[in-house]
A and B are shown apart, each in its own frame.
Chain A
Amino acid sequence: MGSTPPGEWLAVAERVVALAMAAGATEAEALVSADDAQLTRFANSEIHQNVAETSVGCNLRFVVGKRIGVASTGRLHDDGLRRLVERAGAIARHVEELEDWAGLPEPAGPILDLPAAFATGTASSSPEERAAGARAVIAAADAAGVTAYGSFATTTERLAVANSRDVRAAGERTWSQLITVSMGPDGGTGYAESAAVDATAIDAAALGREAAAKARATAAARPIEPGDYPVVLEEYAVVDLLDMLGYLGFSALAVQEERSFVEIGKRVGSDLVTIWDDGADPAGLPMAFDYEGLAKRRVSLIDHGVCRGLVYDAQTAARAGVHSTGHGLPAPNPYGPFPLNMLMAPGTTPRDELIGGLDRGLLVTRFHYTNPVHPKLAIVTGMTRDGTFLVEGGRIVAPVRNLRFTQSYLEAIAGVSAVASERRTLKGFLGGVVVPAVRIDAFTFTGATEH
C-alpha cells in the first residue's frame, strides 16, 4: 500500500472532501500524506538500528462558515474516515468564528511537473543497499583508524490535496540523507553529510573519508579563550543560520504577529548575502506544491543583504491582501508558513581559500543544539561540534576545544565578508537547504567546554 500512486491518494482526499460536504461542511480540504521511509543507523562502526515504515495520514479541514475544525487520522478504512469527518465536524460546530477567515484557497496557477523531485534510486532502495552505504563509511573510518557513527535515510513521500474549491494536487518526491560522525581514539571528531533526491548519487565512501580525516585532524584539541573571532563557517553550520532565520523571520505570520526581524527593504545582511526559497530548483530537494495544494512560488527573502519578501500560506496572504506563495504547512499549524526549500547564492571565493582571509580566527564545522535567546534580534546560543580549528595567517594551526556562542544571526550575516563559490545540498530542520561556506568578520563565543 505504501507504493500506492499519488493519483489514488488524491481519490481518497476527494472522497473525504465529499464526505465532509455531505456532513454539512460549507468548505472542506483533505490532505493525504503517505510515506515509505527507511533508515539504517550505525554506531561504533556497526549497524545498530535499522528501520522501515509504511505510514499514511489524512488531515481534514472541515469548515462551517467561518468555523474551522481540524482532525487527522491514520485509519483510512470506512470507519476511520467516518470518525474523521465526525471529529472534525464536531470541532467546527463548537469553535468560534475566525473573524478574518478568507476561505480555503482556490486553484492558483499551474503546478509544475518536477521530474527532478523523484528518483527511482531512492524509491526502490533496499536494506542491502543502505547497509552497503553504511559499510562504505565504516570502511573509510577503519582505514583512518577511527570509528564511524551515522545514518543513511531514504524516503518516498506521496502527497495529495483536494478541497471543495477545486484545488487538486498530487505528486511524489524522494529524498535521501547520509550523515556521519567519526571519532578518533584520542578524542577527535569529524562530521560529513549529504542530501540528495537520488540516494545513489550520495558518495558514502567520500563522506566517510571526509569525516574520518577531520576526526584525525581534531585529535588532542587545545583550549582557547572565548571571545570575538572572525570565523569561516562550513556549510553544515550555515544551514543553521538559514533554518533559524527562516523560523524566526521569513514567515508572514511572524511578521503579522510582530515577532519577526523582517522589514521589507531593510538591510540586514552584507551585499554578499542572497537567500531565496524555490521549490522547483533541482539543486535542492524539490517540491512542486505546498500542504494546501498550491504551487510553490520562488520567493526572494534576502537580496544582496536587503529583506525582499516573505513566504505566505492562504490565510496569511489573505490578511496581507496578497497571493499565497505556496508555503502552507499542514493544519493545525500555529507556526504559519515556512520556507522549506531555501537556497543561498554562491559567492566567488573558492571554498578552500576562505580561511586564507583569516589573520587569526576559527574554522567551524557545525553547530549543535542551537536555541534562540532573543528571537526578535535573532540572538541564538549553541555549541560548536565535530571540528573547530584555530586559523592563523590564513592557515589551520591547531584544533581547538568546542566553544559556546551567543550571537545575533542577523549581525552574523551582516558580517559576511566572503562566500564560497561551491555549495552543498543538505537537509535542514524541515526541508532541503542549499548553502555555501562563508567567512564572517566577527562571531561572539561566550563559553568553552572540555572537549
Chain B
Amino acid sequence: MRELTDRALDTAARRGATYADVRIVRRLDESISVKSGRLEGASSGESEGFGVRVLVDGAWGFAASHRLETPEIDRVAAEAVRIARASATALRRAVALDDRPAAHGTYETPVAEDPFTVPLEAKIGDLLAADAAMNRVKGLAYTESMYAAQREWKTFAASDGSFTEQTITHVGSAVEANAVDGDEHQRRSYPDNGGGWQAAGYEHVRRLDLLGNAEAYADEAVALLSAPQCPPGRRTIVLDPSQLYMQIHESCGHPTELDRVFGTEASYAGTSFLTTDKLESGFRYGSDLVTIVADATAAGGMGTFGWDDEGVAAQSVPLIREGILAGYLTSRETAPRIGRRSGGAMRADGWNRIPLIRMTNINLLPVAGMSLDDIVADTDDGLYLAQCRSWSIDDRRLNFQFATEVAYEIKGGRKGRLLKNPTYTGITYELWRSCDAVGDASSYRMLGTPNCGKGEPGQAGHIGHAVSGARFRNVQVGVLD
C-alpha cells in the first residue's frame, strides 16, 4: 500500500501541490432483508478505489478512481492538481490548515464475533425467527426484518509523513411490524428507526435480542390502529432514547458542524443558527442539564475511529456544556478560524468522496439522580414519545417537527394508554432550554444512523448517538386530522 500512496503523493507534489493526502479504501458489505416471513433478498457488495486530495495555490482539488494501478494513480493525482488550479481561479481566502502531529498507527473496531464469518444461513435464520415472532400477532399487514454489516479497510497517507491503517466494522439489525386499516398505517420498530447499528461484531446482533422483543412490538402496531389520536396542545413530553437520538442528530449535531456555520453547505443542506458569535457570547442552547459531546472514542459508536480522514486523532469535544454552547465539529481548515485545533471530525463516505465535517458520536451525557423510570414517575401529566417515524427541520436547524411511532399517555407518574400519530414541533433552543430532566446512566445506550446525508455529491454518514432519555416542558404537540 505504501508504494501506491507514495506514488500518489509524489506525483501531486511534482505537479505543484503544497499539501496532498491519499486514501485507499476497500469496503465490504452485506445485507439481508426478510419480509412477512419470506427472505426478500440477500446481497453482498465490494468496492475498492482511491482518492487524492491536494492543495495548490491555496485551493482544493480532488480526484478519485476505482483502478488501483500506477498509471491511473499518476493520472488521478495530476487531475487533482489540475482541478485545484481551476479552483484557484475563484478563490478569496486561501486554505490554511492547522498543525497537527503526523499520524501513524493502526486502529481496528473491537469485534468479538466477526459478522462476515457467521454463516449466512445462521444470520438468515435469526432474522426469520424474529420475523416469525412478529407474525404470531394477528392483524399485521406485513413485517420487515433486516440485517446489514459493513467493513472498511482504509489506508491514509499525507504529505507530512502521516500513514495510518484502520479497519472499521459496523453491524445493524432491526425488526418492524406494520398494521394497516384503510388509510391508517401504523408501525412499530425495534430497536430504532436507523436499523440498530453499532460499531461491533455479530455479538451486538445477539445482544439486541430481536426474537425476544419482536412480539411485543408487533402487538403495539396492531393496538395503535384502534388507539385514540394523540390530542394537540402544549404538553410535557418525555423522549425515549429511540426518539431522543434523532432530536440530537438534527437539532444539535448538524448545527454544530462548523462548515455549515461558515456557509459551505448553504446551497444544499443549509447553514446553522449557531453562528460563531454565539460561541464567544456563551449562547444558552439548553438548560443546565444539557451537556453534549462529540466523542469519537465512545465504545460501540458508528462515529468511533482511530483517526479522522485528515489524520487527526479521535477525541472527545464538548459541544454544549451545562447548556452553554462550548464548541463545534471541526476540521483542520475550519478550526483555526475560531482559534482552535481540529476536533477530528472530517469523514468521507468511501474512496470517491472528499472528507467533510461530519458528526462522530454526538452524545447527551446522562445526569445522575433520576432514572428514566423515575422521570416518568415524576411526571403528573405528559406524553412518553418513542421511536422516530418522520423528521424535518429548517435550513438553519431551528424549526423542527418530528413524528414518533407511538405516544404513551403519562398520568400521575404512570405510563398508560397508547395514543397514535403523535407529532411535536418547536424551535431548537426553546426545546433544549425546557429540558428539566435527563436520565441517568441506567438507560444510557448507543444508537446510530447509517444514512446521514450531506454534501455534493451526496455522502451517507455513519453516526453514533448515545442517550438516556429526557423530559421537556411546554412543548407544542400536534396531531394529524
Contacts and interface: CB of A to CB of B under 8 A. Distances in A.
The reply to whether chain A is a binding partner of chain B is yes
Interface of A: 1-2, 37, 39-57, 68-75, 80, 83-84, 87-88, 90-91, 94-96, 98-99, 126-128, 130-131, 134-135, 138, 147, 149-151, 153, 179-181, 183, 257-259, 331-332, 334, 368-377, 379, 381-383, 385, 402, 404, 406, 446-451
Contacts of B120: 90-91, 94
A47 B46 contact: no
A402 B394 CA distance: 9
B66 A54 contact: yes
A319 B108 CA distance: 46
Contacts of B86: 40, 47, 50, 126-128, 130-131
Nearest to A181: B267
B370 interface: no
B46 A44 contact: no
13 contacts: A1-B67, A2-B65, A40-B86, A51-B61, A51-B62, A51-B64, A74-B49, A90-B120, A98-B39, A127-B82, A149-B266, A183-B266, A334-B40
B41 A331 contact: yes
Given A37-B457, A372-B390, 15 more contacts: A2-B65, A46-B90, A47-B87, A50-B59, A51-B62, A52-B79, A53-B51, A53-B63, A80-B48, A83-B46, A91-B120, A127-B86, A128-B86, A138-B90, A376-B180
B480 A450 contact: no
A287 B220 CA distance: 44
Nearest to A180: B267
The 10 tightest CB contacts between A and B, nearest first, are A449-B399, A74-B47, A127-B86, A70-B43, A332-B41, A149-B266, A149-B267, A131-B86, A47-B87, A53-B64
Judged by DSSP, the binding face of A is strand
Given A385-B395, A404-B394, A449-B399, A51 B63 contact: yes
B412 interface: no
B264 interface: yes
Contacts of B33: 332, 334
Contacts of A48: 60, 87, 264
Contacts of A84: 46
Contacts of B48: 74-75, 80
Given A404-B392, A406-B401, A87 B62 contact: no
A269 B63 CA distance: 46
B107 interface: no
Of listed A94, A147, A368, A372, residue having the most chain B CB within 10 A: A94
B87 A373 contact: no
A39 to B, nearest CB: 6
A1 B72 contact: yes
B280 interface: no
A34 B268 CA distance: 25
Interface string B49-75: 101000000011111111100001000
Contact of A80 (B46, B63, B72): B46
B66 A55 contact: yes
Interface stretch (B164-172, B296-304, B419-427): B419-427
B67 A54 contact: yes
B93 A332 contact: no
B84 interface: yes
Nearest to A41: B456
Contacts of B270: 368, 385
B403 A71 contact: no
Contact of B66 (A56, A69, A446): A56
A50 B83 contact: yes
Interface string B234-276: 0000000000000000000000000000111111101001000
A41 B269 CA distance: 13
B266 A74 contact: no
Contacts of B183: 374, 376-377
B45 interface: yes
Nearest to A138: B90
A369 B395 contact: yes
B451 interface: no
Contacts of B393: 369, 383
Contact of B90 (A47, A83, A259): A47
A370 B46 contact: no
Nearest to B265: A43
Contact of A94 (B51, B83, B124): B124
A129 to B, nearest CB: 9
A334 B41 contact: yes
Nearest to B403: A373
Nearest to A259: B185
B279 interface: no
A40 B421 CA distance: 42
Contacts of B185: 259, 374-376
Given A56-B66, A446-B478, A179 B398 contact: no
A99 B79 contact: no
A257 B84 CA distance: 49
B46 A94 contact: no
A183 B263 contact: yes
Contacts of A377: 183
Contacts of B96: none
B379 interface: no
B44 interface: yes
A385 B394 contact: yes
A50 B403 CA distance: 37
Contact of B62 (A1, A50, A385): A50
A201 to B, nearest CB: 20
B38 A374 contact: no
A147 B266 CA distance: 11
A43 B90 contact: no
Contacts of B76: 54
B153 to A, nearest CB: 13
Contact of A179 (B85, B93, B265, B267): B267
Given A90-B120, A95-B42, A373-B423, A45 B92 contact: yes
Nearest to A258: B180
Nearest to A136: B90
B426 to A, nearest CB: 8
Given A95-B124, A373-B390, A447 B401 contact: yes
B305 to A, nearest CB: 22
Interface string B447-460: 00000000011000
A165 B124 CA distance: 29
A69 to B, nearest CB: 7
A74 B392 contact: no
Contacts of B41: 68, 70, 95, 331-332, 334
Interface string B21-51: 0000000000101000011111111111101
